[in-house]
Amino acid sequence: AKEKGKNNFQFFSDDMAFIASRKIALENELRRAIAKEEFILHYQPQIQAATGDIIGMEALIRWQTPAGKTISPGEFIPLAEETRLILPMGEWVLSTACKQAKLWHDSGYSQLKLAVNLSPLQFLDDELMSMIRQTLEKTGFPASSLELEITEGVAVDDAEKAISRMQKLRRLGVRIAIDDFGTGYSSLNYLKRFPLNHLKIAQPFVQDMASNPYDRALVEAMIFIAHSLDMSVVAEGVETEEQLALLKKLGCDEIQGYYYSRPLTADKFTHLLANGLHS
């Protein structure tokens, strides 16, 4: 039995070594990709529920390898966080998105707001405020059109620090959205203490609401609470007409999802602005 235990351990540790070396390989790939600028941003429209107008877009990163493969952020953002490579990557994202959104503003769509995701590590980084200030200055994009999406995870270690960081961002004039709402914990307690403008309902609630009355009730409650606290509500992951109709009925303010559009390249988004959603 002892022998077997030893073998098991051996097997386990080989397995770990394999995972670790794969991780190092991926980390090196990621460093190289940052240096070679192999990332691109896609933009997903956000639609005003009441009018059907495009009122903004969320920037979403993709990794395009030289071999022509597109790798989704779910596959590399966690490692980028772990290795802190998310910091230079996040700076690139903000600067690229602001430059692009400034072009759209200058070509007549000055009402568009830009939403950019911030990972917890970025949000808590000491250089965040100066990085944002410099990026806005350099690109000429107005702070009031920028919305930063954060998750409840930012408050796990130090809620006071997170709140003071949010207040600084608000003073800079940018808006703050809480992303994936309903998937974290202590949600209600945080909600009343965080200076938030926007609440984004997490996709699973939206996707199950048409078939599951509990999810529908939760979505209704989230919208009610957000409105009571003066926040507007975005539903994301909206894929069907039925989900859209329900969300409108429940008073949801903004819609994002494949029903209207998948995330698009900047060129395709420009085309969408000029031609509308249903052409």
Q: Which residues bind ligand C2E (CB under 6 A)?
A: 44, 59-61, 72-74, 77, 90, 93, 117-119, 179-180, 236-239, 257-258, 263
Question: Smallest distance, Å, CB 108 to ligand C2E?
Answer: 26
Q: Which is nearer to Ca ion, 117 or 139 (CB)?
A: 117
DSSP H helices in 125-265: 128-139, 159-172, 187-193, 203-208, 213-228, 241-249
Q: Which is nearer to ligand C2E, 54 or 59 (CB)?
A: 59
Cα-Cα-Cα-Cα torsion 239, 245, 250, 254, nearest 10 degrees, comes to 50
Question: Smallest distance, Å, CB 119 to Ca ion?
Answer: 10
Binding partner of residue 145 among Ca ion, ligand C2E, none, CB cut-off 5 to 8 Å per kind? none
Rounded Cα gap, residues 145 and 148, in angstroms: 10
Between vectors from CA 61 to CA 148 and to CA 263, what angle results, nearest 5°?
Answer: 90
Binding partner of residue 93 among ligand C2E, Ca ion, none, CB cut-off 5 to 8 Å per kind? ligand C2E
Kindly state the number of chain residues that form the binding site for Ca ion, as judged by CB under 5 A. Answer: 4
Binding partner of residue 223 among ligand C2E, Ca ion, none, CB cut-off 5 to 8 Å per kind? none
Query: What are the angstrom distances between the C-alpha of 100 and each of 45, 177, 261?
Result: 14, 21, 19
Among 91, 125, 152, 180, binds Ca ion (CB under 5 A): 180
Q: Which stretch binds Ca ion (CB under 5 A): 41-49, 96-104, 135-143, 176-184?
A: 176-184
> Helix %, strand %, coil % for the chain, to 5?
55, 20, 25
Q: Which is nearer to ligand C2E, 18 or 185 (CB)?
A: 185
Residue 119 interacting with Ca ion (CB under 5 A): no
Residue 139 interacting with Ca ion (CB under 5 A): no
Question: Smallest distance, Å, CB 28 to Ca ion?
Answer: 28
Binding partner of residue 257 among Ca ion, ligand C2E, none, CB cut-off 5 to 8 Å per kind? ligand C2E
Residue 149 interacting with Ca ion (CB under 5 A): yes
Residue 117 interacting with Ca ion (CB under 5 A): yes
**Burial of 12: CB neighbours in 10 Å, binned 0-12, 13-18, 19+:** exposed
Assess contact for 126 and 168: CB atoms under 8 A: no
64: enclosing H helix or E strand: strand 54-64
Q: Which is nearer to Ca ion, 135 or 256 (CB)?
A: 256
- Could you tell me the two tokens for 9? 């351990």
